């Protein structure tokens, strides 16, 4: 991968250049949150210093400019995910906010007692609990797609879950624990053959590969800004227009209304119908800046380099005989969940932290998945395009130190 300008790219992320406990930081916790390119940091800083004014509210020059930039950000996202119209791009607080919106409003629109919602065993709690809450409200129930030992969805079982009561499918595009890249196009095709809409949780996918919502044909696509090198507190929900028109609003407040009287309120059209209150417009503009940064490099190139890192790390980690990997699908992102035999993941994480290697330990907000494998938790190393093979080597060395200390 000599053609990938990794040294230049690392310079775009100032946070990476620091010592932790006297060791260079190896940040391998990108599944939890990603670091920020200086270009985005500067853009957000500049707005706060020079341009801040509320959007969609005032006639003043500042507000007009800000509104323009906000709607421009919406178009940047629209283009990035291939959405037909910018009105189909709703800014939310994050993936969790997006899924809660759909679970609430689609619940209102389609769920009745006895109905069923299909999820999978590998979902993040954010794609379980909102649906569980909706099911409780409407007397519906969850049906769960099982997974194989390798961490692939059991597609035959998925096909068999459909019946006349199935109203919704909500699955993750890429597993935040196993790294499995799910066959989402096929998942959507099967659901649509039963007339059932599909939400894809793109929190761990959007930053790793080109995503085209029209090609996927999904009804909803959700992702977070902070996991795609953007600010925290901003997220996106893409929806098909027919559903956005049919769904009632999720939250009430300013901007989402058409006309308010104490007797009756009529609502604005999407996306504004779903953006109650003053939105995180500066976050949206920051997100657009990060997206422009990524498209400047090229999502194909990013995916290519990350696949190279994935293969390198797979080979390196699998050479540790005491290491047990969870998630060995052939379709996999650079996310590695594992335990060292006989050593608690928490002990491992604490020790490698002292070597400057940042990973996550625990259940990764996916307790049902831990139960499926009969484990308490794992360590997760999640890589992205600013990571290096040298950092993978440091993880490898630190894990061997742990084995020396504790085995």
Where does this chain bind other proteins (CB under 8 A)? 21, 343-344, 346-347, 350-351, 354, 361-362, 376-377, 405-406
The b/e string for 343-359 (b: 16+ C-beta within 10 A; e otherwise) is bebeebbebbbebbbbb
Closer CB to other proteins, residue 176 or residue 270?
A: 176
Tallying the residues shown for the chain, one arrives at 407
Closer CB to other proteins, residue 298 or residue 346?
A: 346
d(CA 386, CA 207): 12
Nearest in space to 313 (alpha carbons), one of 237, 223, 393: 393
Q: How far is the CB of 377 from other proteins (least distance, A)?
A: 7
Collapsing DSSP states into helix, strand and coil, what is residue 200? Answer: strand
* Strand segments (E) across 121-161: 141-145
Collapsing DSSP states into helix, strand and coil, what is residue 23? Answer: strand
End-to-end CA distance of the chain, in Å?
Answer: 36
CB 158 within 8 A of CB 190: yes
Closer CB to other proteins, residue 38 or residue 351?
A: 351
Q: How far is the CB of 100 from other proteins (least distance, A)?
A: 24
Closer CB to other proteins, residue 304 or residue 362?
A: 362
d(CA 140, CA 121): 18
Q: Beta strand 26-27 with 357-358: parallel, antiparallel or unpaired?
A: parallel
The answer to whether 365 is a known catalytic residue is: yes
Closer CB to other proteins, residue 142 or residue 351?
A: 351
Kindly state the tokens that stand for 102: 């759909």
Q: How far is the CB of 365 from other proteins (least distance, A)?
A: 13
Closer CB to other proteins, residue 74 or residue 364?
A: 364
Q: How far is the CB of 23 from other proteins (least distance, A)?
A: 11
Nearest in space to 234 (alpha carbons), one of 40, 27, 50: 40
Kindly state the tokens that stand for 67: 């509104």
Closer CB to other proteins, residue 217 or residue 347?
A: 347
Q: How far is the CB of 370 from other proteins (least distance, A)?
A: 12
List, in sequence order, every residue forming a beta bridge with 141; answer none if it has no partner.
Answer: 116
The b/e string for 92-113 (b: 16+ C-beta within 10 A; e otherwise) is bbbbbbbbbbbbbbbbbebbee
Kindly state the tokens that stand for 245: 């028109």
Burial environment of residue 316 by CB neighbours within 10 A (0 to 12, 13 to 18, 19 or more): middle
CB 270 within 8 A of CB 220: no
Q: How far is the CB of 131 from other proteins (least distance, A)?
A: 25
Q: How far is the CB of 379 from other proteins (least distance, A)?
A: 11
Closer CB to other proteins, residue 99 or residue 340?
A: 340
d(CA 106, CA 244): 9
Kindly state the tokens that stand for 139: 């007397």
Phi, psi of 192 (to 5 degrees): -65, -30
Nearest in space to 293 (alpha carbons), one of 88, 84, 36, 96: 36
Q: What is the DSSP letter of 290?
A: H
Q: How far is the CB of 362 from other proteins (least distance, A)?
A: 5
Catalytic residue annotation: 365
């Amino acid at each position: 991968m000599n053609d990938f300008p990794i040294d230049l790219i690392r310079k775009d992320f100032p946070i990476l250049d620091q010592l932790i406990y006297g060791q260079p930081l190896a940040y391998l916790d990108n599944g939890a949150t990603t670091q920020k390119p200086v270009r985005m940091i500067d853009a957000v800083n500049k707005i706060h210093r020079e341009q801040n004014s509320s959007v969609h509210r005032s006639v003043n020059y500042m507000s007009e400019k800000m509104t323009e930039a906000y709607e421009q950000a919406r178009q940047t996202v629209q283009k990035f995910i291939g959405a037909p119209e910018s009105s189909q791009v709703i800014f939310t607080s994050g993936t969790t906010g997006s899924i809660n919106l759909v679970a609430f409003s689609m619940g209102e629109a389609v769920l009745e007692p006895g109905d069923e919602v299909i999820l999978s065993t590998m979902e993040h709690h954010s794609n379980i609990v909102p649906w569980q809450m909706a099911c409780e409200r409407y007397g519906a129930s969850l049906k769960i797609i099982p997974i194989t030992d390798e961490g692939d969805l059991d597609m035959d079982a998925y096909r068999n879950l459909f019946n006349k009561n199935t109203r919704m499918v909500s699955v993750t595009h890429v597993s935040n624990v196993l790294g499995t890249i799910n066959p989402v196009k096929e998942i959507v095709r099967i659901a649509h053959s039963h007339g059932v809409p599909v939400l894809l949780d793109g929190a761990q996918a959007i930053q790793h590969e080109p995503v085209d919502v029209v090609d996927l044909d999904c009804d909803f696509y959700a992702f977070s800004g902070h996991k795609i090198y953007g600010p925290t507190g901003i997220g996106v929900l893409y929806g098909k227009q027919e559903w956005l028109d049919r769904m009632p609003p999720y939250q009430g407040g300013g901007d989402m209304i058409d006309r308010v009287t104490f007797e009756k309120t009529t609502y604005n059209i999407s996306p504004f119908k779903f953006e109650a209150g003053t939105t995180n417009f500066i976050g949206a503009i920051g997100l657009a800046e990060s997206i422009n940064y990524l498209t400047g490099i090229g999502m194909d190139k990013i995916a290519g380099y990350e696949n190279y890192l994935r293969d390198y790390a797979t080979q390196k980690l699998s050479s540790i005989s005491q290491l047990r990997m969870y998630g060995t699908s052939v379709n996999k992102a650079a996310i590695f969940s594992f335990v060292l035999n006989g050593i608690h993941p928490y002990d491992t994480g604490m020790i490698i932290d002292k070597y400057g290697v940042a990973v996550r330990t625990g259940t990764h907000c996916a307790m049902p998945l831990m139960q499926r494998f009969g484990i308490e938790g794992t360590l997760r190393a999640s890589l992205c395009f600013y990571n290096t093979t040298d950092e993978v080597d440091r993880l490898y060395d630190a894990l061997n130190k742990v084995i020396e200390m504790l085995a």
